[in-house]
Structure 1
Amino acid sequence: MNASTFVREIVVPKKYATIKHSLHKAQALHYCLEKEIDNLSDDDWIVHLDEETIITEGSVIGLANFTTKELGSLGQGVITYANEDIVNWWKTLADSVRVSIDVGLMKFCFQKLHRPVYGLKGSFIVVKSSVEKSLGFDFGPRGCLAEDLYFSLEAWKRGYKFNFVEAACLDGIASLTGFFGKLNNEFYIVQKEKGPLQRSIIKDV
């Protein structure tokens, strides 16, 4: 990639390992927070997007409102699916349920309870830099199953405030039935694990 003032490409070295031996996406995210790699100030904001997530003018405005007003230390917005031609009606209907959960259940948990009772999705997340640095993504091999969920539970346990981003991004995730099932299976596995989820709910709800 050519040098740019606005774009920075970070490549994780093959020999890099975290203290708890996290893998995959968690390993890459934690590498970006290492002192010799990270160049963000504590007052900066980090927006996490999957490669298939499309940011819009409305989502930029929503993020600007969230960060300038500091409505929370962590935020989550809506992601809409089937924004182009419908290939599979069954998958599209299943995706529409996910949007309704975003607008209903997740929005209520973030905007009213300020806690990730239902968890956190891995895309269209905004986090204050100081918070992300304090939490990191080194949750070990089990946490790699769904590092976004573990990240949200650790933030909840430490008392950070969550809120909802009043905006939507476009997404074409889970276009294949197998991948859609894999996503839901990963979420189910992590929810079953004994860890911060049980402790947080017992303590805070």
Structure 2
Amino acid sequence: MRTFRILFAGAAAAALFLGASATASGAGTADPVSLSVTYTCDFPLIGKQDLPVKISGTMPDTAVVGQPTTVADYEADATVHEAITDVLRQLEAKTVEGTGTAGVKATDGAGVTREYEVDLTVPRTPVPETGGLVVPAKGAVPPMTADNPGVARFDITPNFATTLTPKKADGSLTDLGTFTLNCNLKPGEKTHLGDVLVTESVAGHQPATRE
């Protein structure tokens, strides 16, 4: 059973984040999985910086052709380094919040690939007095349906974007205002989240009828 987390990184920083729980029709048991990757993001004022992100979630180990499979508890936790939080502190930011978009790619047993967009939410996260911070991002992954039996592979897509808003203690905006952070997976990083065995049918279930 595989699980996958995608922190969208968030802050994703950069981050990207939000949790959802769902069941998959005709799916097997679900186990947690995780993937740690590093993105390069173009931050305002300080330019390109690495952003480590831990992506996690839960997905079934088996599924049925034509029936939806859902990745649940999708979360991406981005580790924002001190160089970035120093800038936030200098601008009197006390919290950061925002939204983001990440992607998941599913390839079924016949090599048919579909991409799914994941909308992420970055909850209001306090900026610490010293050091870096971890920004969580959570989101609901759309149900995925395999057209063909076999082993379906799930990967994260290499790019994500997040729109962030740092705020002062009184809730007003900093001089950064609201900004968009574009991030790209660093070369050589793994993208594989996990695999799901897709069958024609399982006991008590029949594949969904398709035109």
Is this a same-fold pair by TM over 0.5? no
**Which protein has the bigger helix share?**
1
Larger Rg: 2
**Which protein has the bigger strand share?**
2
| TM-score, normalised with respect to structure 1 | 0.24
With a CA cutoff of 8 Å and minimum separation of 6, indicate the structure with the bigger relative contact order.
1
